[in-house]
Amino acid sequence: MHSLNDLPRFVEVVEVGPRDGLQNEANPVPAAVKIDLIDRLSAAGMPHVEAAAFVSPKWVPQMAGSAEVMAGIRRRPGTRYSALVPNLKGMEAALAARVDEVVVFTAASEAFAQKNINCSIAESIERFRPVAHAAKTAGVRLRGSISVALGCPYQGEVQPTAVVDVVRRLADLGCDSIDIADTIGVGTPGAVQAVFDAASRVFALARLAGHFHDTYGQALANVLAALQLGVASFHASVAGLGGCPYAKGATGNVATEDVVYMLHGLGIDTGVDLRAVVQTGDFITRAIGRPNHSRAGRALLAKWAAEQGNGTSAACAA
């Protein structure tokens, strides 16, 4: 267990706003807005943007324009662009769109797998086999994602052993990295450390990532808890946007601005320009008419506005 003085020196923040943040929006978000969002996140220095999902448009209509989005973005060297793929059809579309990384996603509970991808966990792994093969052949990175690892809206409690079982299966597929996701934001720091500790016994901690939704206000504490264990990759959504259409009531991911603010405060490098991310959170919440859920984002925007009101240049602040 690391003390606060002995944390990883660099942490990768994976921006999932364009995918997880927008997939649940009831009103269509124009491709041009998504492209603008991704370009701003790239310009802010995000090392990794989860930009799209090549899923069935019948299941998640908001992600239907993913090919157009991928074709329209400006790719910044140094930023990796990933996309969700549930099956070979999605994989073919993702390869045609030239993604850098594909994400196969399953769950730690059978009930959630059925609701989200319409199959059992075992069936999902079989579906991923040709996807994994295609990824290796094309030289595209392969990531696995495990939903409801800290609690399931249908099943209730989820044991770390169930998560470890899925980590093993995704590792056997050849995943380069694996996300452990608290889809409904129920996890608390002790439970987070327990599940990451268990997972790290079968898959290198350096290749695990935390994906925490903030429904119960635990997400930032959970990032810190995993960080103290040595996890150095975290997903976050600008302005805390998001939710899963198949996990009703779950709120967005931990806000990118809040994670970056905390990491920089701990002296940890992220390569991310906090000011630019805060401005991006302001841009996207105005564009889609949503509240900004980032506490750091709101505080900094208010501070900069006050400074401008006082005649101080906002460029000098923060």
The residues that touch ligand HMG, with contacts defined as CB under 6 A, are 20, 23, 53-56, 58-60, 84, 86-87, 89-90, 105, 116-118, 145, 147, 181, 183, 211, 213, 244, 246
Q: To the nearest whole angstrom, how small is the minimum distance from the Cβ of residue 86 to ligand HMG?
A: 4
User: 116 contacts which partner out of Mg ion, ligand HMG, none, CB within 5 to 8 A by kind?
Assistant: ligand HMG
179 lies in the binding site for Mg ion (CB under 5 A):
no
Q: To the nearest whole angstrom, how small is the minimum distance from the Cβ of residue 242 to Mg ion?
A: 6
Per-residue x/- track, 17-56, Mg ion (CB under 5 A): ---x------------------------------------
What are the tokens at 192? Answer: 């987070």
Single-letter residue type at 253: N
Tell me if residue 44 falls in helix, strand or coil: coil
DSSP 72-117: HSPPPTT-EEEEE-SSHHHHHHHHHTT-SEEEEEEESSHHHHHHHH
Q: To the nearest whole angstrom, how small is the minimum distance from the Cβ of residue 96 to ligand HMG?
A: 12
User: With respect to ligand HMG, which residue has the nearer C-beta, 48 or 213?
Assistant: 213
Q: To the nearest whole angstrom, how small is the minimum distance from the Cβ of residue 76 to ligand HMG?
A: 23
User: With respect to ligand HMG, which residue has the nearer C-beta, 56 or 188?
Assistant: 56
User: 59 contacts which partner out of Mg ion, ligand HMG, none, CB within 5 to 8 A by kind?
Assistant: ligand HMG
User: With respect to ligand HMG, which residue has the nearer C-beta, 52 or 225?
Assistant: 52
Q: To the nearest whole angstrom, how small is the minimum distance from the Cβ of residue 62 to ligand HMG?
A: 9
Residue 163's contacts (CB-CB under 8 Å, 6 or more residues apart) are: 108, 146, 149, 180, 195, 198, 199
Q: In angstroms, what CA-CA distances link 34 with 8, 47, 89, 180, 228?
A: 32, 18, 23, 26, 34
Catalytic residue status for 316: no
Which of 119, 175, 244, 316 does the annotation list as catalytic? Answer: 244
User: With respect to ligand HMG, which residue has the nearer C-beta, 256 or 279?
Assistant: 256
Name the closest residue to Mg ion (Cβ).
20
Separation between Cα atoms, residue 84 and residue 110, nearest integer Å: 20
User: 220 contacts which partner out of ligand HMG, Mg ion, none, CB within 5 to 8 A by kind?
Assistant: none
15 lies in the binding site for Mg ion (CB under 5 A):
no
- Positions 238 through 267 that interact with Mg ion (CB under 5 A): none
Q: Give the footprint of Mg ion on this chain (CB under 5 A).
A: 20
The residues annotated with a catalytic role in the active site are 244
